[in-house]
Amino acid sequence: MAIRRIAILFCFTWFAFLCVPVTPQFWQELFALNWSEPGYSNLFRLAHYTPRIYPGPDTFLNWAAVAVIAFVIGIAWVLIGREKTGQAERLYYGVRALARYRLAVAIFAYGFLMYHPLLAPYPSLSNLNTAYGDFTRWKLFSLSLGIVPGYQSFLGLVQIICGLLLLYRKTASIGAFIIAIYLGNVFMSNLAYEGGETVYSLYLIILSLFVLSYDARRLIDLLILQRPAKPNTYHPEFSSQWLRVGRVVLKSSFVLVFVLFYALSTREAFAADRYQFPAATGLSGVQGLYNVIEFERNGTAVPYDSVWTGRWRDVVFEKWPTVSIRSSRNVAIDSNNTEHFESDDRLRTYELEGSAGRHYYSYIVDPSKHILTLSNKNPHYKGETLQFVYSQPDESTLVLSGNDFNNDNLKVVLKLRTKKYLIEEAKRTGRRGVIRL
Amino acid sequence: MSSLVTTANDLVLNQQIKERLVATPLAWYAYEKILFRIAVIFFICICIPNSVAWFEHVIAIDWTSLHYRDLYDIARFGSGINIFGNTIFGSNLLGYANWVTTLLISIAVGLAWSWIVRARGTERSEYQVLHYWLRAVVRYRAGIGIIGFGFTKLLPVQMPYPSLGLLNTDFGDFTAQKIYWLSIGIVPWYQIFAGIVEVLAGSLLLFRKTTAIGAVLLFGALGDIVYVNFAYDGGVHVYSSYFVLLSAFLLVPEIPRLYNLLIRERVTQPFRFYPVLPQWLKITRVGLKSGVLLLFLVVFFYLQLVNFLYDPYKQPSVAGVLQLRGNYAVTEFRLNNNLLPANAQDTLRWQEVTFENWSTLTFRVNRPTPLDLSNGGGDPQRDVNRTFEVSCVAGGQRVFHYEADEKEQTLYLEDKYKSIPDRRNRPAGVGGDGGSEKNLQSTAARNKPAVRTNAVLWKPEEWISPAARERIGNEVDKIDAKAQTTRRRREFAQAISLENRNRMILQYSTADNGNIVVLTGLNENKDSIKVVLNRVNRNYALSASTLNAGKY
């Protein structure tokens, strides 16, 4: 039964390699972390580890490569004849423990980011004023989750509970079962919405199925085949004192770092600095949606529905130093669809990712000279800058004059628009009420 | 793995299993029996229809000409004890009042039952057989119910892919409910996946051995949907909770067993009791079960497929005028021959016009208008009543259904907005889609004239003339013959009542290979308008659907 033995050893080795960070890349990343950044962002990056053999975006090829290595080790193990009685049981228990904790780390990483609804923030003013069809599927997925922070917290809570169940041997299979179903949905969503975590979510599914496999037979016996089910009888022996102490210390520090510290860190972020949007405050007193009531280019007035793509339709000043301009000018979409944490406001691009219809600019203000300098946040338009002298003749009017990126001279009169959003009105009155908009 | 596991343990465990097998069945504890009696009353009550409308519907079904909605309506009904109304102390408890009433009555009856059997000395030691049959009722109720719900997703019509008018609407101009529906509509393959999960869960419930796994699946999937409905104000929270409740009941016997097996690590006996049935019952069981499987899996699939292909129920099914379809910018707009220059703030001028693939015209006007806040679902057969494209949409969007006299190039348009929407999902009773409850109570309101401040009623002779009607044809016949059903014909045969819609009559002409469309005629105020439209090719960031419902 050499083949069977090889298969078993291969399996354990493979899963161990999938769980334990062995690639040099991980360690490089670990030592390169900047601990002046918020703790949760670093832990999230580490938690997102997958074995990478090939450079570039993660693919299933990496798994295959690890499998080949594991297979060689499996054969060697059997050939050298180093197996011992009861070894498979011990290995199964041990590798499953690795997988439980590996999985728990990943689940907590996303769980707390959703429990404190950071992952999908409430849509920005610009996002609310962008046509539905101007978003990519992935952005719409995120925006649609962003409008219901309570639901996002609930999903986070489900994950956190599963993570906690995984930390205890006896409840691990229950946690693994629930999280496998949950992750199955995540995987399908990534496929359908063109998300960026297809490989990663399947990786986590595989781990959860491995954890579940330990009890799969008895569960199938009990629930489906409806015959008497035998319980687990293997209990690891921690013979020496230092093993027992070591276990407690390891487990406690795991909970301390990945549950308590991470929870507090995400909570602080939610209270003080939600990473998806810039942290700084924009020019005071201008936040809002503006109609472009006058638009002059090189001294010539351009009417509202001009087909010319340079004609602005409306402008949004966010609470933070971002201004977005809607026009029919084409947008090469920033199609990032994975999480990234930036301390530099200009690199916080969630607001424009997956979105056409508007161009987004971060701006700096020279308050003494009343000058706004806008630079396009979209990496496809690096170096595109506009500079305007601004004035505010009255509270609801903003006049910008200056040069755009083509060195055309623009004079733009913006009028603040008080707009009621159905999404918010309906929240107040409910769908049973009467709304006129 | 087992060959490597030490075998001494196995021998002990096998011995334990043998001893336990002999020990069953056990007498039930007194509290178990009392709880069970309450459960019997409660679950039977919430598994049978409580409205006359449902029985009328089932009796009226024409089995020779089925519509998918006929089966959907069989699968979806209101239940529970409602003879005392659907409120408790004037509150409907978010729609759950009926459950509470039913539970209170069940407790009273269950306790009385317990007292009577004890007083008469006829108390049984257990209720295994009755428990079996109660589970059978609950399994079939939950299974059929969720299959009925799942098929509208499995062939993705419950959440349609957004129409042009919806794609052009700003994100903030929808309700949360609409945003959720659209977010599923944009990924039809995901919707199919969700449908498969629901139909699979339902199918698993129809078999005794797969009940546990089906119940777990149903509990998980519908538990999420309950939360989604609360979060997004979806309006179907009670009906989705219903399945959570039924599946939880089916899982009750498994919970202590799982605890025993996984946490206490003891040998565990399965929950299994199959009564020995007499021959006639065996035959009945096989016959009924095959009937259910045939009707609710095979026939339902076919009917839903027909609906998807020719008559997707949330989209109008009549094709739009071919040369008009697309997005347009308004380049000229005259009202009573006065030119209104382009201006986003103008409160009369049209902006952003679309002609959908089907018989709908949309445009925006920057002037507040009352909104349809229903979920745009239900079962209307007439295109003008299919309101998914108008419900929960703000941003000044106007949506008109049209009938086209293509020979005379004339469009007869009717506003899809109605101040008092029709009742939908009648057999489902209270707790159906959002809005049905409002309509149930609004009979008095319905008899009052509808509130339309600026509507000008067209005299019959001013509307579609008999000659024009002949050229246009009848809407009822305008879908593929395969989708023609008795249900459709019956609804079209009913007289239209309480309609007080905005109407317009517009002539259309095209120029420049269809890139320019000119509309002239009378608007809803009978003012003359002239609208010149220029075709716009919008490149949406949102990927197009690879699955398109309907035939246009």
Of A86, A128, A304, the CB nearest to B170: A128
CB contact under 8 Å between B342 and A86, yes or no, is: no
Q: Does residue A358 sit within a domain?
A: yes
Residues A330 and A360 in one domain: yes
- Please give the pLDDT value at position A38: 84
Query: Do residue A341 and residue A209 come from a single domain?
Result: no
pLDDT of residue B389: 96
Contacts of residue A8 in chain B, CB cutoff 8 Å? 1, 4
Tell whether A300 and A221 lie within a shared domain: no
Q: Which of A136, A147, A431 sits opposite B541 (nearest CB)?
A: A136
Specify the pairing of strand A409-417 against strand B326-335: unpaired
Residues A183 and A308 in one domain: no
Residue A134: its chain B contacts at CB < 8 A?
A: 540-542
Compute the average pLDDT of residues A156-165.
98
Statement to judge: residues A238 and A305 lie in one domain:
no
Residue A305's CATH number: 2.40.128.280
CA distance B211 to chain A (A): 8
| A45 plus A161 within the same structural domain | yes
Distance of alpha carbon A175 from alpha carbon B156, whole angstroms: 32
pLDDT of residue B449: 44
C-alpha distance from A136 to closest chain B C-alpha (Å) = 4
Fold of B322-442+454-536: Lipocalin (2.40.128)
| H, E, C per residue of chain A | CHHHHHHHHHHHHHHHHHHCCCCHHHHHHHHHCCCCCCHHHHHHHHHCCCCCCCCCCCCHHHHHHHHHHHHHHHHHHHHHCCCCCCHHHHHHHHHHHHHHHHHHHHHHHHHHHHHCCCCCCCCCHHHHCCEHHHECHHHHHHHHHHCCHHHHHHHHHHHHHHHHHHCCCCCHHHHHHHHHHHHHHHHHHHHHCCCCCHHHHHHHHHHHHHHHHHHHHHHHHHHCCCCCECCCCCCCCCCCHHHHHHHHHHHHHHHHHHHHHHHHHHHHHHHHCCCCCCCCCCCCCCCEEEEEEEEEECCEECCCCCCCCCCEEEEEECCCCEEEEEECCCCCCCCCCCCCCCCCHHHCCCCCCCECCEEEEEEEEECCCCEEEEEECCHHHCCCEEEEEEECCCCCEEEEEEECCCCCEEEEEEEEECCCCHHHHHHHHCCCCCCEC
In a domain, A90, yes or no: yes
Residue A276 has pLDDT above 60, yes or no: yes
B160 touches chain A (CB under 8 A): no
Is A426 close to B233, i.e. CB distance below 8 A?
yes
Does a structural domain hold residue A437? no
Are A170 and B262 inside 8 Å of each other by CB? yes
Based on the domain organization, do A295 and A168 belong to the same domain?
A: no
Higher per-residue pLDDT: A339 or A35 = A339
* Cβ-defined contact of A89 to B4 (cutoff 8 Å): yes
Using 50 as the pLDDT threshold, list the residues of chain B that sit under it: 1-6, 431-454
Q: Across the interface, do B344 and A291 touch by the CB < 8 Å criterion?
A: yes
Q: Do A141 and B168 touch (CB under 8 A)?
A: no
What count of CB pairs under 8 Å joins A to B?
A: 254
* Residue A435 domain flag: no
Q: What percent of chain A has pLDDT over 70?
A: 99
- For residue A428, is it within any domain? no
The whole-number pLDDT of residue B7 equals 52
User: Is residue A391 situated within a structural domain?
Assistant: yes
Q: Do B5 and A88 touch (CB under 8 A)?
A: yes
pLDDT at B86: 79
Task: Report CB contact under 8 Å: A148, B210.
Answer: no
Q: Which residues of B touch A123 (CB under 8 A)?
A: 171-172
CB contact under 8 A, A226 and B209: yes
B213 inside 8 A of chain A by CB:
yes
Contact list in B for residue A301 (CB cut-off 8 A) is: none
Sketch the domain layout of chain B as residue ranges: 25-310, 322-442+454-536
Place of tokens 């628009």: A417
Q: What is the mean pLDDT of chain A?
A: 93
For B368, the closest chain A residue by CA position comes to A437
Tell me, yes or no, if B175 comes closer than 8 A to chain A by beta carbon. Answer: yes
A282-302: average pLDDT: 95
Determine the residue of chain A that is closest to B204 in CA distance: A224
Q: Which residue of B204, B217, B419, B542 to mutate against A (max A Cβ within 10 Å)?
A: B542
Say if B445 is an interface residue toward chain A (CB within 8 Å): no
Asked whether the beta carbons of A99 and A15 are under 8 A apart, the reply is yes
What is the reported pLDDT for B18?
A: 66
What ipTM, to 2 d.p.? Answer: 0.94
Contact of B519 with chain A, judged by CB distance below 8 Å, is answered with no
User: Both A79 and A213 in a single domain?
Assistant: yes
Report chain A residues whose CB lies below 8 A from the CB of B20. Answer: 228
Which residues of chain B neighbour A356 with C-beta distances below 8 Å?
539-541
pLDDT of residue B115: 96
Structural domain count of chain A:
2
Q: Does B15 touch chain A (CB under 8 A)?
A: no
- pLDDT, mean of residues A273-282: 95
Report pLDDT for B20.
59
Closest CA to B473 of B387, B359, B343, B356: B359
Nearest CA-CA distance, residue A351 and chain B, Å: 14
pLDDT confidence of residue A238: 85
Domain ranges, residue A124: 2-272
What does the pLDDT look like over B105-130, one tens digit per residue?
999 999 999 999 999 999 999 999 99
Q: How many CB atoms lie within 10 A of CB A292?
A: 21
* A172 and A196 share one domain: yes
pLDDT for the residue A1: 65
Q: Which of A191, A228, A305 sits opposite B270 (nearest CB)?
A: A228
Strands in B440-541 per DSSP E: 503-511, 516-522, 528-536
Contacts of A130 in chain B (CB under 8 A): 170-171
Distance of alpha carbon A105 from alpha carbon A343, whole angstroms = 23
Q: Which of A60-69, A133-142, A246-255, A417-426 has the lowest mean pLDDT?
A: A60-69
- Give the minimum alpha-carbon distance from B182 to chain A in angstroms, rounded to a whole number: 9
Asked if residue A167 is part of any domain, the answer here is yes
B355: which 2 tokens? 């002609």
Chain B: residue whose CA lies nearest to A234: B5
B273 to chain A: closest CA residue: A226
A404 and A374 in a single domain? The answer is yes
